[in-house]
Amino acid sequence: SVSLGAEYTYRQTLSLRGGYQNLFLPDSEVGLALGAGLRGTLDGEALGYSLDYAWADHGRLDSTHRLTFGVTF
């Protein structure tokens, strides 16, 4: 099988992601995955944050949604 993915980031702030898992595998339960991310700083450069969202198709198991929030200091 082959899995592919790509990410485009605009000004190190907004990211758009896409991918496909197990391409060419006839009985695969996974497939298309899409996502987006937002990154920035608070209080100058001392405190950073990130917010990421992802959606993935899992065949019979339906789709999944993932949300991640991160803080860096």
pTM of the entire structure? Answer: 0.81
Where in 1-73 does DSSP place strands (E)? 2-10, 14-23, 32-42, 47-57, 63-72
pLDDT tens, 38-49? 999 987 778 999
Q: Phi then psi for 60, rounded to 5 degrees?
A: -60, -25
Q: Which two tokens stand for residue 37?
A: 């991310």
Q: Which two tokens stand for residue 26?
A: 């006839």
Report DSSP state, residue 46. Answer: T
pLDDT tens, 3-23? 899 999 999 999 999 998 887
For residue 58, the number of C-alpha atoms closer than 13 Å in the C-beta half-sphere is 8
Q: Is the pLDDT of residue 51 over 90?
A: yes
